[in-house]
Every structure is written in structure tokens, then in C-alpha cells.
Amino acid sequence: MIRQSWWKILCFLLLLYVSIAAFLVEIPSPPGVPLQQSIRNFFFHVPMWMAMMVLLTVSVVYAIKYLRDPKPIYDHYSVAYATSGAVFAFLGLTTGAIWANYQWGKPWSGDPKQNGAAIAFLIYMAYFVLRGSMNDNEKKTRISAVYNIFAFCMLFPTIWILPRMTESLHPGGQGSEGNPALNPKDMTLQLRIVWYPAIIGWTLLGVWITTLKIRIELLTEKHLNNEAI
């Protein structure tokens, strides 16, 4: 039992460590970049986006597998991981808005990174609307699998490419020099030993939630099938 659940125990310990260390670690003060205490949100906001990317990547892999070999289990996995990924995207947007409110004066400033993230989130919301709009199960699963691939491809221009090509308050974008936010180059060893465990911990939590969702769905489906018989 312990051998099968080791990664869940690791997830719990990592997030417990991050939740404590994130508020105790010393924040650096690079020249010309006055970092405030709100920067501690960095250990929650950014790792949630990283976890989102992992979850959505797994989702699109199962979507491709379903198109090649239409097994219902692949569709279950694809939808479950897309759902968890969308939840982490929402959490990323929310924590980002809270951070921006303290760091830049308002929760939403129309920054290219914020707008791109919102567009990507809405594209994935359309994925769930699309699935809910069709009654034919075979048609629904195939079309949604194709749309899943499209939505995943749209993540890269909306979140990673276009915001870096325009002026942005976020580090990495044009005109972001002197931006009061944490750049990876500014990270000290103390920050890194919290940030990396945070990425692993939030990702494992996303996988944990997803596996529970899949189990519940499969048990519900099995129960309904038994009742039908």
C-alpha cells in the first residue's frame, strides 16, 4: 500500500514544506528591482502554471492516442487531465491577479501575458462547452479530441510566444527591464530550494486529483452499466 502511495506522501510533504518555507525564505533585493513581500506568491502562481502545462500535455497525449485507437479509457484520461489543467489555469489566473493588484496597482492591467493567459483559458473552456453540446458519444469524443490538440497548440502563441514579443510587465517580455517582479536570474539558492519543490508538489497534486476523478467516473459508469443490465 505504501509502495503504491509513495508519490502521494511525497506530494503532501512537498506542499507542506513549500507552504511553510514560502513565508520564511529570505527575499533578495537585486539592484534597481525593489522586490516586496508579495513576491512570495511566486512559489504558488508560477508552479501552478507549470503544473497546468504538464496536465494539459498529458491530456493532449491521450487525445492523440484516442484518435489512433478509440478506446473509451483514453477519452476518460484526456478529459480528466484537461479538467485538472483548466482548474490550475484558473488558479494561476487568480493568484496572478492577486499578485498584480499588490505589485502593479490593479488586478488586471491588460498586460499581454494576462490577456494571452485569459484567451488560452477561454479556448479550453470552449472545449468543455463543445463536449457538452453533443449527444452522440462517438462524435463527441472524436471532435473533442481534435479540438484538444488545437487548444494545446494555442497555448504556445498565447502564453509563451506573443507576450515575449510585446512590451510586458512580466519578466522576459520586451520593455520589462526594471520590472518589479522576480526574474529567474535573480533567484538565490534559498529561493530555488523552495521553487523547484513547489513545481513538483503542485504537479503531483494535479495528477493526484486527476486520478481520483478518473476512478470516480469509471466506478460511476460501471454502476450505471450494472443497473442497466
List pLDDT tens digits, range 102-132: 877 888 888 888 889 999 999 999 999 999 9
pLDDT of residue 179: 45
The rounded mean pLDDT for the chain is 85
In a domain, 99, yes or no: yes
Name the more confident of 162 and 81: 81
Number of domain units in the chain: 1
Task: Report the Cα–Cα distance between both ends of the chain, in Å, rounded.
Answer: 33
Name the more confident of 119 and 100: 119
What tens digit of pLDDT does each residue of 186-199 get? Answer: 677 888 899 999 99
pLDDT of residue 109: 81
* Cα–Cα distance, 139 to 51 (Å, whole number): 30
In a domain, 9, yes or no: no
In a domain, 221, yes or no: yes
Confidence of residue 178 (pLDDT cuts 50, 70, 90): very low
In a domain, 30, yes or no: no
| Cα four-point dihedral sign 45, 106, 119, 178 | negative
- Measuring CA to CA, how many Å separate 164 from each of 1, 91, 117, 123, 131? 46, 22, 13, 20, 32
Domain coverage including residue 199: 44-174+181-228
The pairs formed by 142-147 with CB atoms below 8 angstroms and a separation of 24 or more are 142/66, 142/67, 142/70, 144/63, 144/75, 144/79, 145/63, 145/64, 145/66, 145/67, 145/75, 145/78, 146/63, 146/67
What tens digit of pLDDT does each residue of 15-47 get? Answer: 999 999 999 988 776 555 555 677 788 899 989
- Start-end of H helices in 156-188: 162-165
| Cα four-point dihedral sign 41, 155, 133, 84 | negative
In a domain, 145, yes or no: yes
